[in-house]
Amino acid sequence: MTKQTAIPTGIDLREEIDRLRKERNAVILAHYYQKPELQDLADFVGDSLELSKKAAETDADVIAFCGVKFMADTAKILSPEKIVVLPDMDAGCSLEDSCPPDKFRAFRERHPDHIALTYINCSTEVKALSDVIVTSSSAETILSQIPADQKIIFGPDRHLGGYLNRKFNREMLLWPGVCIVHEAFSERELLKLKAEHPEAPIAAHPECPPHIIDHADYVGSTSGILNFAKTFPGDTLIVATEPHIIHQMEKALPEKNFIGAPGADGNCNCNICPYMALNNLEKLYLCLRDLEPRIEIEENLRVAAKKSLDKMLELAAGTIGKGDLGRV
Ligand code: SF4
């Protein structure tokens, strides 16, 4: 039987989402890059690491993940007994797309003396082929625990890997993937904006290319940028990451001015993540109502992927001593 996907006319979507959230014993997680209306009704808003931890800890029966597919996959890997739904199953990621598992496996096989430190923005298959997963908020903590002589493959984001190489004086082999959103910032337009606001610091995500990072006063994950926004002494901040994060900044600090870094067209519209933008209130309502689209992962694959995620959660929490990564 074809599933009924029409939304009844005249319903209040927010009220219905609330009703379904209680009825399903569901938790709604939203990434900082989601539309403000999704962030505002989520039980928890965070970055990839925070959302991963939340997914592992929650006692809800259903996780509705307002984010992209690799994030919902991560929730399912960590909470296999729960139903995990994603409002739009086409919400992918250019980094995940850049790293097909068969090519990644072949790359690993060509470098048998390297461990694979892999950014969480990848498929479940690539996680299963990796030794340790990192997020942008945990990457520095984790890399600093890996012995200096340990050879490392870092994928799929070459900009994050390059940033880490420069900062830690490492020579990790980099997979050539990029985030299409952070890649789109324009150095020329950023410098024009900076000239208009010379007193404003620039906060950038490490997925940005080096010609953007080089101008940044602060480089960090979405949570790190948010914390910087709450503590910097001035009144204007230029934000070089997906602009929906500015919603949380404006809520926390309505008296301050947050400006999204521009793309080549001089505004920040080209820096809206087209995958994150696929989710909306209507699709969230439908996925809570129908419990579809649902994330399903074959058990052996899930267990293999969980190993590298568990390693991340342990190392990010500092519960494993230095040197442990040499044995992964
Ligand atoms: S912002 Fe970039 S890294 Fe994040 S989901 Fe979108 S394409 Fe992927």
What is the Cα–Cα distance from 310 to 256, expressed in whole angstroms? 38
Q: Is 93 a pocket residue for ligand 1 (Cβ < 6 Å)?
A: yes
Q: Is the CB of 124 under 6 A from ligand 1?
A: no
Cα separation, 172 vs 115, in Å, equals 10
Note whether 27 and 51 are within 8 A (CB).
no
* Distance of CA 46 from the midpoint of ligand 1 (Å): 14
- Kindly give the number of the ligand 1 atom that is closest to the alpha carbon of 33: 1
| CB-CB neighbours of 6 under 10 Å | 6
* DSSP strand pairing (173-174 vs 151-155): parallel
pLDDT per residue rounded down to tens, the chain (328 residues): 445 578 888 899 999 999 999 999 999 999 999 999 999 999 999 988 788 788 888 899 999 999 999 999 999 999 999 999 999 999 999 999 999 999 999 999 999 999 999 999 999 999 999 999 999 989 999 999 999 999 999 999 999 999 999 999 999 999 999 999 999 999 999 999 999 999 999 999 999 999 999 999 999 999 999 999 999 999 999 999 999 999 999 999 999 999 999 988 776 567 899 999 999 999 999 999 999 999 999 999 999 999 999 999 899 885 444 434 433 3
Instruction: Tell me if 129 sits within 8 A of 99, measured CB to CB.
Output: no
How far away, in angstroms, is 95 Cα from ligand 1 center?
A: 7
Give the strands of the sheet with 114-119, arranged side by side.
Answer: 132-134, 114-119, 151-155, 173-174
Residue 133 structure tokens = 């997963």
Pocket test for ligand 1, best of 31, 32, 33, 71 (most atoms within 8 A of CB): 33
Ligand 1 atom at minimal distance to the Cα of residue 93: 8
CA of 195 from ligand 1 middle (Å) equals 28
Model pLDDT, residue 325 = 42
Q: Where do the domains of the chain lie, and which CATH numbers do they carry?
A: 13-91+276-297 (3.40.50.10800), 95-179 (3.40.50.10800), 182-260 (3.40.50.10800)
What pLDDT shows up at residue 55? 80
User: In Å, how far from its chain's centre is CA 282?
Assistant: 23
Q: Give the number of residues written for the chain.
A: 328
pTM of the shown model: 0.93
Beta strands in 180-321 (DSSP E): 202-204, 218-219, 236-240, 257-260
Q: What pLDDT is attached to residue 264? A: 82
Task: Give pLDDT, residue 40.
Answer: 97
276 Cβ inside 6 Å of ligand 1: yes
DSSP for 13-33, written as a single string: HHHHHHHHHHHTTEEEEEETT
* Residue 294 main-chain phi, psi, to 5 deg: -110, 140
DSSP H/E element including 133: strand 132-134
Q: Which residues pair with 254 in a beta bridge?
A: none
Look at residue 327 in the predicted model and tell me its pLDDT. Answer: 36
180 lines ligand 1 (CB under 6 A): yes
Say which residues have a Cβ less than 8 Å from residue 64's Cβ, sequence separation at least 6. 21, 26, 27, 28, 29, 85, 87, 284, 287, 288
- Quick check: CB of 135 below 6 Å from ligand 1? no
| Protein residue closest via CA to atom 3 of ligand 1 | 179
CA separation for the pair 65, 284 (Å, rounded):
9
Read off the tokens for 224: 């790190």
Nearest CA to ligand 1 atom 2: 179
